[in-house]
Amino acid sequence: MSQTEFSKDLNPTQDEFAALLAESLAKDDIYEGAVVTGKVVGIEKDLAVIDVGLKMEGRVPLREFSTSGSSEIKIGDEVEVYLERIENALGEAVLSREKARREESWNRLEKQFEAGEKVTGVIFNKVKGGFTVDLDGAVAFLPGSQVDIRPVRDIGPLMHQQQPFQILKMDRRRGNIVVSRRSVLEETRAEQRADIVARLEEGQVIDGLVKNITDYGAFIDLGGIDGLLHVTDMAWRRVNHPSEILNVGDTVKVQIIRINPETQRISLGMKQLLSDPWEGIEAKYPVGGRFTGTVTNIADYGAFVELEPGVEGLIHVSEMSWTKKNIHPGKIVSTSQEVEVQILEVDSNKRRISLGLKQTQDNPWEVFLAQHPRGTEVEGPIRNITEFGLFIGLEGGVDGMVHLSDLDWNRAGDEAIKDFKKGDNVRAVVLDVDSQKERISLGIKQLGGDPAETIGGFKKSEIVTCEVIGVQENGIEVKLADTDLTTFIKRSDLSRDRSEQRPERFSVGDKLDAAVISLDKAARRINVSIKALEIAEEKKAVAQYGSSDSGASLGDILGAAIKKSQSDDDSDEEEQD
């Protein structure tokens, strides 16, 4: 309803009057939900009476003014208040100082947030997960992780103190503001670090304070910026833990090794201030020389020995013992033990020295050879049985091997090895000793004479008498009469006649004649053949009783030869009678 309409009706309703009043107030920017300027016209107990104009007054509790930063208000002061309602049941305006301050703060904070500016606030309460901050009327949340760069155990000194914050998030609709004190400190710290780093140079020697110690090094305060002193740069010698050298609070002299301009990380060193013990190392520790050192560390692959402070060498597990193989170094040496070592190799560029422990002791294979020349009989227990022979324990902690081929003269090795078992005490003959390869070759069959030496008494094509000792599908095994030699006659050598090449026609114990067809003294082998004997006899008969052009058949010739042989036998019997 407009004023013109109201003038036409001198008796408006209550709603018409309220609408007319709101229309009048709106013209002067006074409306519900607005922040208006009022004047304190009176103070009644704990309330301040404030005139907001247009003959409207409202009452605001004095406590709402206590957080404004002023100690108190007095009559005549002008203040900004939030107009919640134009008129309540008492005909007074409903005002709020707190809401006015909140609206003012939100408007200001939104502008600062968009501009990326810092804001000032006061931490006044602790809540779950963090703290509440008064940003001059607006309440913000400060997460616990955003209080400081490092965790803060006691928040007390930071409470109720004006300090800067950075707004991380704002949501006016939900009334949420999240701030950070940490980001302000990091920014300030970054600026300080940049200034300090700009004044530092690589190679510069400065004093620092040990601020913190970790397993891998120590952080040194260089006056507003920290540098890392790695454990490997504390001393030339091996340092197991930084606490062996430093304590928190110590003042140390360090050298700046490296500065990373991007990350502003500073690497420090202490050993760089001392002379390098590796200079001229080859002259001090020549290859082949023997020195005494202290075991500083033991690993699976060997033991580290300190020859002097800052100079360590490694005894590889393979160079620790002549006889103890596949054993952990800790079972041979112990930490802090003094040992004599021999220099095997020196690499000054890689700062490595290879050491030998077993080289300072006598080579047990050389000692064994000196005490047991080739051909000496030895005795020991069978330590192991493998697919290629026996290992026998010998004096001096060394082992000798009997190959399958040196177990028996007459039997195959895989058959002869079945006669032995682990733990048996056996005798053997030393065949060969190779101290470089750490090998000792032994023989068991050499304890007896070599039956193959009798091969020298035979000659090729000689007729020998044999005894059948075994019948197999592919031939027969025979033993030469009056010897220990055995050999095998193949099926094809059992007869000239193919129909007679049957092993089953022989029995164990049968005696037969055969001709020597080959001799191999090196392999200790003699081969005989019944077929060769038959062919030789045939040739002999042909030569004596006929020829290819005589017209006589082979049967006639052989018959005559046999008849002549029988006749000779009968004559021999008559002479004996």
DSSP string, 216-232: SEEEEE-SSSEEEEEGG
Whole-angstrom Cα distance, residue 569 to residue 572?
Answer: 5
Q: What angle do CA 373, 376, 378 make, to 5 degrees?
A: 120
CA 560 – CA 377 distance, rounded (Å): 60
In DSSP terms, which residues pair with 516 in a beta bridge? Answer: 528
pLDDT (0 to 100) of residue 342:
94
User: Is residue 457's pLDDT more than 80?
Assistant: no
**Residue 3 is which amino acid?**
Q
Helix (H, G, I), strand (E, B) or coil at 569: helix
Q: Where is average pLDDT lowest: 7-11, 180-184, 265-269, 436-440?
A: 7-11
pLDDT tens-digit readout, 195-224: 778 788 888 898 999 989 999 999 998 877
Bridge-based pairing state of the strands 377-386 and 389-393: antiparallel
Q: Which H or E run contains 567?
A: helix 554-576
* pLDDT interval class at 454 (50, 70, 90): low
DSSP, collapsed to helix, strand or coil, labels residue 552 as coil
Q: Compute the mean pLDDT over every residue in the chain, rounded to the nearest whole number.
A: 82
The per-residue pLDDT for 576 is 45
Specify the pLDDT at position 33: 61
Q: Is this prediction's pTM over 0.75?
A: no
**Alpha carbons 170 and 115: distance in angstroms, whole number:** 13
Which pLDDT value is given to residue 459? Answer: 82
Q: Among 289-298, 314-323, 514-523, name the one with the lowest average pLDDT.
A: 514-523
Using alpha carbons, select from 464, 454, 457, 451 the residue that is nearest to residue 516: 464
Any alpha helices (H) in 265-324, and if so which ranges?
281-284
Q: Nearest CA to 146 among 158, 160, 135? A: 158
- Per-residue pLDDT at 30: 63
Contacts by 355-358 with C-beta closer than 8 Å and gap 24+? 355/293, 355/305, 355/313, 355/314, 355/315, 355/319, 356/315, 356/319, 357/315, 357/319, 357/320, 357/321, 357/332, 357/333, 358/319, 358/320, 358/321, 358/322
What is the model's pLDDT at position 66?
66
Is 13 in a helix, a strand, or coil? coil
Cβ atoms of 291 and 338 within 8 Å: the answer is no
Structure tokens at 379: 């005795």
For residue 294, pLDDT over 60 is answered with: yes
What is the distance between the alpha carbons of residues 74 and 323, in angstroms, rounded to a whole number? Answer: 102
pLDDT above 80: residue 549: no
Three state DSSP letters for 47-98: EEEEEEECCEEEEEEHHHHCCCCCCCCCCCCEEEEEEEECCCCCCCEEEEHH
Q: How confident is the model at residue 14 (pLDDT cuts 50, 70, 90)?
A: low
Residues 36-89 pLDDT 10s: 777 878 888 878 887 777 677 777 777 777 654 444 777 878 777 767 776 665
Q: Could you tell me which residues are beta bridge partners of residue 355? A: 315, 343
**Domains of the chain, CATH where assigned:** 3-101 (2.40.50.140), 118-186 (2.40.50.140), 200-273 (2.40.50.140), 281-354 (2.40.50.140), 364-447 (2.40.50.140), 454-544 (2.40.50.140)
pLDDT at 452: 53
